[in-house]
Amino acid sequence: MFDQFLEYWSKAHGEKFEPFTDDDYFKYVDGKLRYEGARSFLESRGIVLPQGDADETPNFQTVCGLGNFKDSLVKDAIRSGGVEKYEGSIKWVEQLRQGGLRTAVVSSSSNCAEVLQAAGIADLFDVRVDGVVARELHLAGKPAPDTFLKAAQLLGVPPGRAVVVEDAISGVEAGRRGNFALVIGVDRDQQRDALLAHGADIVVNDLAELLA
């Protein structure tokens, strides 16, 4: 989505096309609410667009239009079987629940419920705080701790007795800001040092490493 937009923008303004990179994703988009991630990346390139409206059709003219364009692509991927499971994560969550721990999924995505359903793991979580809930309750997105704090509240546990597990830098930072007892970073793309620098207590490559 960003590459298509950047090609359009560079032609419209006579600028050199600089593609969207993995580094851009992890720095500005990963873990953030849809429109916040789009705006954050645009700001990194010095591009200013009007906010627009959440109900508008996908377009290149507003932040919401870009976010909705991305969302349409995500929905297409979900419907076409693009959801893949991390088996180690599933086994670890199952083990935690067998041990009597309650679990919540905290996601910036408004498609979280559909993703959980597609992966067949919706029943592994007692609570879901996602982009839909954040919008309804006016919760700030990561790196603010609000969505994690709401999940802990719904689970009935104080942050000091809860663990945050995150693969996004913004999510790790949110867990640290929320004063959670433990913040576990999951290094999916050579981000170990950044995850530690932003507040992870430990970093693993796969949650299967935490299996008893």
Taking only the tens place, the pLDDT of each residue in 57-111 is 999 999 999 999 999 999 999 999 889 999 999 999 999 999 999 999 999 999 9
Q: What is the pLDDT of residues 139-162, one digit of tens each?
A: 999 999 999 999 999 999 999 999
DSSP string, 112-138: HHHHHHHHT-GGG-SEEE-HHHHHHHT
DSSP state of 108: S
DSSP string, 85-102: --HHHHHHHHHHHHTT--
Domain 2-79, CATH among 1.10.10, 1.20.1440, 2.60.220, 1.10.150: 1.10.150
Element (H, E) at 169: helix 169-177
Domain positions in the chain: 2-79, 87-210
Please, what's the largest Cα pairwise distance for the chain? 60
Q: Would you say the CATH fold of 87-210 matches that of 2-79?
A: no
How large is the average pLDDT for residues 117-133?
A: 96
The pair of structure tokens assigned to 31 is 């873990």
The CATH superfamily label for domain 87-210 reads HAD superfamily/HAD-like (3.40.50.1000)
Q: What is the model's pLDDT at position 31?
A: 83
Question: What is the spatial distance between Cα 34 and Cα 64, in angstroms, rounded to a whole number?
Answer: 8
Element (H, E) at 186: strand 182-186
